[in-house]
Amino acid sequence: MYDLCIIGAGPGGYVAAIRAAQHGLTVLLVEKDRLGGTCVNRGCIPAKCFIHDVKVFTAAKRSSVMQGADQLSVNIDKMVSRKRQVVKAMVDGLAMIMKGHGIRVVQGQGEVLPPGGVGVHTIDGRRSEESVKYVILATGAKPGIPPFLSVDGHFVQTTDEALDPKDLPAKLLIIGGGVIGLEMAAIYRLLGSEVTILELLPDIIINEDAEIRKAMRMLMEQQGVKIHLEAKVREVKIQEEKVEVDCENQRGQVEKLQADRVLVATGRVPVLEGIDVQKLGLRMNGPFIKVNEKFETNLPGVFAIGDVVGGMMLAHKASAEAEAVLAKILGYPKRIKPEVIPRCIWGLAEVASVGLTEEEARAKGRRVRVGKFPYMSSGAAQAMDDINGFVKIVGDSESGEILGVHMIGQHATDLISEAATLMTMEATVEDFAEGIKPHPTLSETLMEAALDWGGILIHKLKK
């Protein structure tokens, strides 16, 4: 008998496995593909590799001091090769960690067999049943494909194919203006493709602060990305080595668009293979597994974490939920605070946020005061030759509580951690402003925004 079986070895599953082993539990980890899940193999890490490469390339090409910069080009094959090397190194590293902790890893499909059992279908066709005390479902999510679309992997792709390209399309049409759509638009636009985004909703990255959305939209359009909002895709068909898309615009008119490739980025749906919802009587929350605040399902001893339970589909959220489940199993409570989980986008500009947007705070009836600081006024940003961006702090005007922090600009995804930490510690905006920052660094932009919130900003013209 195992103390714990985890189905799915992404950032939720493998963190749960390691933490359990560290506390002396016997662990069975079942993964149908490779260790690391979507994040390591087909998501976060491959995308970050490509974003890094294209931004280094773009910075060099735009440099005002490098001779011959306009002659630079990118070798797609080498980009893909480097990405694969990084992914392999991470997967191999995880395998070594599992072995070192004595975690049994089985490649195959896991199946819940209540009460207190799991079935394991290995890739070589064998099947076994194991007795376990606890089960964690960490099966993740996969690209959601609208019913009118057929993905062939070449003309019509998901990120699985787009992050492992064999060539560069002259024209790329992306269906979906969320996080994935914006990141893929950045990669392909900076590589030289003509990029068009079709977004069904009234704006891109709709859950972000309105000022952030506007700034990102303007930047993308300045760099040649075409954005169609409230655009309803009616039909996608392949004609003579091209993809034709019929799209209904805001005025109800149908436009015909043509591209070399179409990338489907319309969101993700939970992976439920091996989980017989009806047979188990597993309660659901729409398409997702329903859990309580301790990530318990309605089945005794069965937990669920990560993308399969919905909410923000973030690797670090899944990892935090894994820690919370182990805390529950081991007998000490640990609560996850969704309001202090940061979210990041690696687009043409980095976007990072934590907490409430200004609009959400006002809708909740909070007494809102806002502080802002532009990258343009940062000595570090000027020295780095990239002054696009700003920091925005949303705080309670009476208590000083930090309600939300929103950033757009270079290194925003690294800087947001400070805001998340301070919010976790229940610090105030005044505490934020009191911190002494090294100069010249972009970390000063956070301090300056906090000073602006208090009406005592240093680097600002007097009105």
**Pair type for strands 117-122 and 127-137:** antiparallel
Q: Is the dihedral of CA 420, 421, 424, 425 positive or negative?
A: negative
Asked if 459 and 448 touch (Cβ cutoff 8 Å), the reply is yes
Which among 301, 226, 313 is positioned nearest to 268, based on CA atoms?
A: 313
- Cα–Cα distances in angstroms (integers) from residue 273 to residues 21, 32, 232, 378, in the given order: 26, 10, 30, 50
CB atoms within 10 A of CB 258: 12
221 contact partners, CB below 8 Å, separation of at least 6? 227
Dist CA 404 CA 421 (whole Å): 12
Q: What is the DSSP letter of 194?
A: E
List the structure tokens of 192: 């030289």
Q: Which residues pair with 392 in a beta bridge?
A: 372, 406
- Active-site option among 23, 101, 154, 439: 439
Tell me, yes or no, if 23 is annotated catalytic: no
Asked if 286 and 121 touch (Cβ cutoff 8 Å), the reply is no
φ, ψ for residue 60 (rounded to 5)? Answer: -65, -45
Long-range pairs of 385-392 with CB within 8 A, sequence gap ≥ 24: 385/63, 385/64, 386/410, 388/219, 388/349, 389/215, 389/349, 390/211, 390/215, 390/445, 390/449, 391/415, 391/445, 391/446, 391/448, 391/449, 392/209, 392/211, 392/212, 392/358, 392/449
Report the residue count for the chain: 463
Asked if 110 and 117 touch (Cβ cutoff 8 Å), the reply is no
Query: What's the CA angle centered on 332, arms 328 and 338, to 5 degrees?
Result: 65
Active site residue ranges: 439
